[in-house]
A and B are shown apart, each in its own frame.
Chain A
């Protein structure tokens, strides 16, 4: 650590003296350190250095946690945390909001950050780590244990500058296409194994006067993300993981032919003749949840729907008597390129630490364990990232198969849009909307996203 400013050095000395001799609290130390211009991780290191490893006497009894889990997810997370509080006596104050970006930005800039923040995508995590707001998890977790419990993909994703900053929690499998087994049997449809089969099936359903596909990308200010999921899944299956990584890291431009191909293949479904009722207007105007109901209505108004495995929750809530596996099920995204068979995209929530203290350490350790994840797995709506979680803990066959598909994938990649900087992700989503509305605009769309990407990567 280099202090360019003598005054600053003296201030830090005074601060350390206050901490070690006059017993100011860790929170006050961190706040004053921040006021002196030290980043959170630097301040944390100083704290660790002069306070040695956090002892139980200096472990705070409360913890501030910020996440996006509202609704029934809030209840599930409370259930996960309850045994932790019972065991350690540490109370976890959970602030949940769907407006996480606003709250987190304000609190970090206002020097009143939460102790732990659970982010919805790794792009944000990389941003925060680069700005020095995150505490490395290397201090908290047993590296060997982590290597045993988690697939390499998760560990790599959470690494920045060779340090682990993120624990991945609550995964989602995004390689699932939902359908009604009853309808398929009744109409003698075969589950397509390849993209060509998929197109053939779609064509035959369409020519029999029915709509093969349901699609909806409306989602408030995030509209377009279901389409981005489509394109990412196609891209991975079409071009493989190495190209995928290049796309995400922007080592190839958005105008590259590989990306254009992926968009156009998505366009085959979105714009297929009589594939989707009311397309393209209906795709833009229908919400991703409402669109998931169509294959399961009586009578069905579509036959296939692509979206991540969290769709199971939408279906079971709307059709409360439907039985998983019989009335609804999913099949894996079809193979496009046999070289990249069994390639799956997915998502997960990202657990990060912003404060370095004993309470945070204990909670992070707890959340990394299989037991903590199993609590939520059993409640449903949660796919575990920890390899040690037993498959039998899943509440039904469909959820189990989805988890299995995720862990046994040959090629796994995190959803592309979530890995990109926020501006690029936003431009991607809006580009999807424009493309769906008018597929002839593809070149314009890609050039627009490319322009945003150049700016975003140039300034970072």
Chain B
């Protein structure tokens, strides 16, 4: 990479030199990260500790009950269904948004109507969740057989002569219900991945791409052997962020099905227990399960991070 070459042009002695201000730097660094650490510590980290503490208390948070809440949570058979749904979301929603975001970012990079195209993919992100729920209501709406269909999907479906389907409301099609919600989510969040990956793409020097093309490399091989490696740090950031977002998915399921018909997820379960039933102990235990689920993701990130740091 450019960095490696540049470094080789600099006399070794200079890179080995220990800056005399390394101790000062350690001190100064704390001013740079101070505000961030303060904010994050007070408003995010402290509530996490509060949540963990309360997960060992009863539903009023007045009596210590040990692991009773966790026992309740894990013996509840509904939890398996909930976890399964989270897993389906994790795989499909993350793959969908990141992959589509990447492909579209690469495609629009090459065309003149880039701004317009990016805007159409971005607009779904600019909508609030309530607006998105109305949009997808217009897509998935159901009207009884023989009546006028007001949902786009059923209108298309019945035009082929089939009976209208109760999208999102059929208890026999649990996987489909989850899939339909995931489609709505991917439609919204691909724009996020696309914008960020597009920003990363801009930092790929165009000379390298031109040179590769000139040398006879096909677009596909350029994509896989030049572009992807060069923006892989950003892909990792985007993928990790999406994974975590999807883990705590709540809004879209809440407004569209309320978790019914096999679409319940952990964050929604937490919301119900916490705000509707006021079972603070169980709710916090569910939240802790969510917090623990991030550990594998962070593990992967730590390893990647170490590799990256070693290269710098």
Contact = CB atoms under 8 A, between A and B. Distances in A.
Direct contact of A and B (CB under 8 A): yes
Interface of A: 101-102, 105-106, 127, 131, 218, 220-224, 277-278, 281-282, 284-286, 301, 421-423, 426, 430, 433-434, 437-438, 459
Interface centre among B59, B143, B255 (most CB of A within 10 A): B143
B41 interface: no
Contacts of B260: 221, 223-224, 430, 433
B311 to A, nearest CB: 46
Given A106-B275, A284-B171, 18 more contacts: A101-B276, A105-B275, A220-B257, A221-B260, A223-B260, A224-B260, A277-B145, A278-B166, A281-B169, A282-B144, A284-B169, A284-B170, A286-B144, A422-B278, A423-B277, A430-B260, A433-B171, A459-B59
Q: Which 3 A-B pairs have the closest CB atoms?
A: A221-B258, A285-B166, A278-B144
Interface residues of B, number: 33
Contacts of B172: 437
Contacts of A105: 274-275, 278
- Which secondary structure dominates chain A's binding surface? helix
A421 B277 CA distance: 8
A277 B258 contact: no
8 contacts: A105-B274, A218-B169, A221-B254, A222-B258, A277-B144, A281-B142, A284-B170, A284-B261
A221 B259 CA distance: 7
Interface of B: 59-60, 142-147, 164-172, 254-261, 271-272, 274-279
A430 B254 CA distance: 15
Contacts of B275: 101-102, 105-106
B142 A426 contact: no
Contacts of A433: 171, 260-261
A102 B276 CA distance: 7
A154 B261 CA distance: 36
A434 B166 contact: no
B259 A282 contact: no
A284 B257 CA distance: 11
Nearest to A424: B277
Contacts, number: 77
Contacts of A281: 142, 165-166, 169-170
A92 to B, nearest CB: 25
A284 B166 contact: yes
Contacts of B276: 101, 422, 426
Contacts of B166: 278, 281-282, 284-285
B105 to A, nearest CB: 35
B142 A282 contact: yes
B304 to A, nearest CB: 37
Given A101-B276, A278-B164, A286 B142 contact: yes
B199 to A, nearest CB: 35
A438 B257 CA distance: 19
B168 A277 contact: no
Interface centre among A281, A301, A426, A434 (most CB of B within 10 A): A281
B64 to A, nearest CB: 15
A372 B259 CA distance: 39
A95 B261 CA distance: 33
Interface centre among B147, B165, B167, B275 (most CB of A within 10 A): B275
A277 B278 contact: no
B257 to A, nearest CB: 8
Contacts of A218: 169
A121 to B, nearest CB: 11
Contacts of A459: 59
Nearest to B147: A301
Contacts of B59: 459
Nearest to B145: A278
B171 A438 contact: yes
B169 A426 contact: no
A341 to B, nearest CB: 34
A272 to B, nearest CB: 15
A144 B278 CA distance: 35
Contacts of A224: 260
A427 to B, nearest CB: 10
A302 to B, nearest CB: 9
B61 to A, nearest CB: 9
Contacts of A222: 258
B2 to A, nearest CB: 51
Contacts of A285: 142, 166-170
Contacts of A106: 275
A101 to B, nearest CB: 5
Contacts of A284: 166, 169-171, 261
Nearest to B61: A109
A11 B186 CA distance: 55
Given A281-B166, A422-B278, A223 B258 contact: yes
A301 B164 CA distance: 16
Contacts of B144: 277-278, 282, 286, 301
Contacts of B171: 284, 433-434, 437-438
